[in-house]
Amino acid sequence: MTWAFDIYYKPPANPSKEETLTQRIKTFGGRFDFREEPAGAGICLTYEFDDERKAEQAAGMLRQQGEHIEGPYDYGE
């Protein structure tokens, strides 16, 4: 079973921010899965984890830093 969470931020796209987030999340065993940029709605980055506890820890750390996180949630097999 895998776990995931989504990070949302307002446009414009910020590749530097995304890279920094990805590097932080990697330290918890997370990996980048998907990037969505709906028209005008903001940017959504999805990260996947094999361990629910690590996903919760990463999400908590990012929330403390002011990021908007949805999840973690069960991402399936």
> Which residue shows structure tokens 């996903």?
55
The string of DSSP codes covering the chain is -EEEEEEEEPSSP-HHHHHHHHHHHHTTT-EEEEEE--TTT-EEEEEEES-HHHHHHHHHHHHHTT-EEEEEEEEE-
Q: How far apart are CA 48 and CA 5, in angstroms?
A: 7
Q: Tell me the residue range of the domain where 21 lies.
A: 2-76
Phi-psi region of 40 (alpha: psi -120 to 50; beta: other; left: phi over 0): left
Write out pLDDT tens, residues 59-69.
999 999 999 99
Number of domains in the chain: 1
Give the CATH number of the domain where residue 25 resides: 3.30.70.80
Write out pLDDT tens, residues 3-46.
999 999 999 999 999 999 999 999 999 999 999 987 777 999 99
